Structure 1
Amino acid sequence: MSVAAVLEKDYFTDYSILLDPYEYFDAMRAIGPVCEMPATGALLVTGFKEAVEVLRNNVDFSSINSTVGAGVPLPFEPNGSDISEQLEQHRDFYVGGDLVVTFDDGRHRALRSIANKLFTPSRLKQNQEYIHQLAKTMVQQAVMQGGCDLVNDIATPFVTLVIADLLGVPAEDREKFREVIDNAPPPGNLDQSDAPTENSPLVFMGTYFFQYLMDRKSSPKADVLTELAQATYPDGSEADLLDMVKLATFMFGAGQDTSAKLLSNAMKYIVDIPGLQAQLRADPKLIGNFLEEVLRLEGSTKATTRVARKDTQIGERKVSAGTRVLVALAAANRDPMRWPKPNTFILNRPKIAEHVAFGRGVHTCVGAPLARTEVRIILEHFLAATREIGLCESNHGSANARKFNYEASFIIRGLSELFITLAAN
């Protein structure tokens, strides 16, 4: 794609970019690691070094627009070299502006301090028996059938049940939540560029989470919901119940998206790279590093968004307060200045843990440890239960002419479906 051709495209609405965002990012990188997106006036960051710089700088950049994207204009005219107060005064104009992912400074630190305690290694270890049993059951059923739609038959219900079990969501409510999430448009919906974030699933689930937390206050249990009901802020004060409801609801919703997409994206590489699945079967310990390289090449989140709340700079480029910034995580993870052979899958790539698929800095995805754990476990079961996993050619074409459909989102990189064939041992 030429630079001239790419400049005519709008990243937030163009379906050709949805199918291949990497070609678009490469063309924009040729202009510079930080460049303006003509259709919106936002800045696009494709350089790895520059992306890390923005993600770590929570002093000069706000996350207030991280749910709506950089394509949505500010709801006010920026005034001065520091618009922090203006942004906060207009927080209600942002859909999702009341979620932890959009908060800055003290409010973010207070909620993040609580969230960080919920996905500890010890808790994930306690949860692993359930994850293994669920994965084994679902994989065995799929293998008996000879195949499945990995996205809709396995990935989505699997991660929904895992996060529900971890939080303590009652079994009878889990299917309701999955239906609501399945029927809602994805975050960063290309079909609604003027309002790309749909908040109704979180509102629906929030009414349930409010009742759960009220119940846990009077009848504590050994689960995350009880910890949230009894949580305190860093200063020792009791956490606001509504804050905890929104935190629990957001973790339930967001905890599904990234993990389900990671599983299907990973399987796409397993079935299409010759010899890879045999290598992983022979040494399952390689699955962890394999997933890190998948996250680098095709992470679940293509981009995140910031607003410059102060006059600052990114790399060598001056940035005025009020500038919207799209940090292309997918581009940074394929930046040739950082990654040798950036578009090539390399198992055990050196320093692979430095990728930014889960972000960097104070807004690093809090559910990253859970995503890594649950996807690694179910892949172990898929590989152990089969002698061969393939792609259904009637749905996805032959090996040299694959066809895939992706969710219509400028934020998420996720397959709509992935039909696989499974040959039992």
Structure 2
Amino acid sequence: MTPTDTAAKCPVRHGFDPLGDSYVADPYPIHTAVREEAPAFYAEAIDMWVITRYDDIEAVLKDPATFSAAVGQRPVFPMSEEAQRILKDGFRAYPVMSDCDPPRHTRIRKHNMTGFSPRRIAMLEPKVWAKATELVDAIEPGRVDLVSALTYPLPAYMIFTFIGFPDEDMDMLKSWCGNRIAFSWGRPSGDEQREIATNMTHYWEYCEKFVAQRAAEPADDFTSDLVRIHQADPDALSLADITNVAYGLSFAGHETTTSFTGNAIRQLLANPEQWAAICQDRSLIAKAIEELLRFDSSIPAWRRITTRAVDVGGVEIPAEAKVLILLGAANRDPNHFENPETFDIHRGDARRHLAFGKGIHYCIGAPLARMEARIALDLLAQRAPDMQMVEGQDFDFPPNVSFRGPRSLLVDWPE
């Protein structure tokens, strides 16, 4: 990418709307169409410039100086005055890692990496197995929704446990997370904004009290790891920083894994020969996860904002332009993946996907997400190799610009 002195005028695509019914139902045919048409274009429906191709998106992710992360979690559309008032009265969060730029991002990520050490992730694996086994043991033969039975409660429980939240608060915390996606990435109604803003305020106040408790009595959890860094050097990491991390991570750490695991099970059951291969040889699961991340990621698009005018594939994007990068389109770019529209768990280069991003913002929770998905699929392959997806069900995906996963996934669970 270069400055825009010789760049062509960007085409306007009037019909592109990631909140439209056809896109929400299945964005991938639309991704293919826009990727083939132009490397970038302006979308009036969301007031964003859309980037479509692997090479350009990879370059965006590796150039935080030009493509700032500052808009990653801001509401796509203006908040109502009532929602703004509610948040002003009790919500004191500020940008988290995913929407921070250096040097603040560098400082916070360094400390978070301490908490996400291989040691702590390894310590969690027996707990993931135990919780997943408990959830699967509770499933009775017949028709079951695997989202409510497994793919939602498992990641939510594990990230809350990782942070250190007590078990007895889990249901309350999950209720406060409800519909959070719509607030920042969708088009919520005024009533929805009021409810979500109220829940966000309750959640923030809870995190403040929790961090204060851990500061007084550290335990063996991620929050306490951060507290110890604060106690050793208060200037390196404040208690407000720790509260902000706990708040942001508790949402990001389970919604995306819930969506991805649901996508993964759906794709495998829709390709029964590949599901059968995994059930016969569970060593294939780790490789299959990379193809599932490539083929049907839980985050098919993310946002940036330009700090200067820039040329993307010969298309001029101005300074201070909001940008939507189509990770899902990049992951099916035929210039990088052979037969990209084919789902193939034996694919050799699937790990080159951009599902977890790239560069300084590469997903810090990727090892935990991979582990949770691997354990869930391994357990299902052991316990229910003959389960089948209910035919004819209408999959419901939350309408938003960034996250994608089925709200329910009905299967027939064998005797």
Task: Provide TM-score, normalisation by structure 1.
Answer: 0.85
Q: CA deviation at 1:236?
A: 7.8
The match for 1:78 is none
The counterpart of 1:344, out of the listed 318, 342, 346, is 342
1:119 maps onto 2:116 in alignment? yes
1:163 maps onto 2:154 in alignment? no
User: Sequence identity, in percent?
Assistant: 25
1:329 maps onto 2:327 in alignment? yes
Asked if structure 1 preserves the Cα contact closer than 8 Å seen for 2:14 and 2:43, the reply is no
Q: CA deviation at 1:12?
A: 4.2
In 2, Cα distance between the equivalents of 1:33 and 1:203?
40
3-state DSSP class of the match of 1:116? helix
1:171-224 per-position Cα deviation (integer Å, ceiling 9, x unaligned)? 11111011121354534124459x999555443222222222212222121111
Q: CA deviation at 1:233?
A: 11
1:133 maps onto 2:124 in alignment? no
In 2, Cα distance between the equivalents of 1:296 and 1:52?
14
Structure-2 change in CA distance of 1:237 and 1:200 (3 Å): same
The match for 1:370 is 368
3-state DSSP class of the match of 2:242? helix
3-state DSSP class of the match of 1:326? strand
1:243-254 aligned at under 5 Å gives the runs 243-254=241-252
Q: CA deviation at 1:230?
A: 2.1
Asked if structure 2 preserves the Cα contact closer than 8 Å seen for 1:392 and 1:420, the reply is yes
Q: CA deviation at 1:368?
A: 1.2
1:403 maps onto 2:401 in alignment? no
Q: CA deviation at 1:153?
A: 2.3
Structure-2 change in CA distance of 1:268 and 1:65 (3 Å): same
The counterpart of 1:227, out of the listed 203, 225, 228, is 225
The counterpart of 1:177, out of the listed 160, 173, 180, is 173
Structure-2 change in CA distance of 1:67 and 1:200 (3 Å): farther
In 2, Cα distance between the equivalents of 1:211 and 1:196?
24
Asked if structure 2 preserves the Cα contact closer than 8 Å seen for 1:68 and 1:196, the reply is no
Asked if structure 2 preserves the Cα contact closer than 8 Å seen for 1:202 and 1:253, the reply is no
In 2, Cα distance between the equivalents of 1:183 and 1:59?
32
Instruction: Supply the AA of the counterpart residue of 1:165.
Output: T
Q: CA deviation at 1:300?
A: 0.4
Q: CA deviation at 1:18?
A: 0.8
The match for 2:257 is 259
Which moves more between the two structures, 383-392 or 38-47?
38-47
1:288-312 per-position Cα deviation (integer Å, ceiling 9, x unaligned)? 1111111111100121111111233
Q: CA deviation at 1:234?
A: 12
3-state DSSP class of the match of 1:123? helix
In 2, Cα distance between the equivalents of 1:18 and 1:190?
13
The counterpart of 1:291, out of the listed 277, 282, 289, is 289
Q: CA deviation at 1:100?
A: 2.4
Q: CA deviation at 1:72?
A: 5.0
Q: CA deviation at 1:324?
A: 1.6
3-state DSSP class of the match of 2:272? coil
3-state DSSP class of the match of 1:356? coil
1:24-423 aligned at under 5 Å gives the runs 24-68=30-74, 72=77, 98-142=95-139, 144-182=140-178, 184=180, 186=182, 187-191=184-188, 200-232=198-230, 237-393=235-391, 397=392, 403-423=394-414
Instruction: Supply the AA of the counterpart residue of 2:137.
Output: Q
Q: CA deviation at 1:97?
A: 5.4
Asked if structure 1 preserves the Cα contact closer than 8 Å seen for 2:176 and 2:200, the reply is no
1:71-105 per-position Cα deviation (integer Å, ceiling 9, x unaligned)? 659xxxxxxxxxxxxxxxxxx9xx97522221111
Q: CA deviation at 1:17?
A: 1.2
Structure-2 change in CA distance of 1:199 and 1:121 (3 Å): farther
3-state DSSP class of the match of 2:341? coil
Instruction: Supply the AA of the counterpart residue of 1:422.
Output: W
Asked if structure 2 preserves the Cα contact closer than 8 Å seen for 1:298 and 1:330, the reply is yes
Q: CA RMSD in A?
A: 2.6
In 1, Cα distance between the equivalents of 2:174 and 2:323?
32
Q: CA deviation at 1:108?
A: 1.0
Q: CA deviation at 1:13?
A: 3.3
- 5+ residue gaps, structure 1, are 1-5, 74-91
In 2, Cα distance between the equivalents of 1:231 and 1:316?
46
Instruction: Supply the AA of the counterpart residue of 1:227.
Output: D
In 2, Cα distance between the equivalents of 1:97 and 1:34?
30
In 2, Cα distance between the equivalents of 1:103 and 1:408?
25
3-state DSSP class of the match of 1:358? coil
Corresponding residue pairs, total: 389
Q: CA deviation at 1:39?
A: 3.7
1:12-33 per-position Cα deviation (integer Å, ceiling 9, x unaligned)? 4312211121122222122212
Q: CA deviation at 1:355?
A: 0.4
Q: CA deviation at 1:251?
A: 0.5
- 5+ residue gaps, structure 2, are 1-11, 79-87
Q: CA deviation at 1:46?
A: 1.0
In 1, Cα distance between the equivalents of 2:93 and 2:186?
14
In 2, Cα distance between the equivalents of 1:43 and 1:146?
47
Asked if structure 2 preserves the Cα contact closer than 8 Å seen for 1:302 and 1:329, the reply is yes
In 2, Cα distance between the equivalents of 1:209 and 1:8?
42
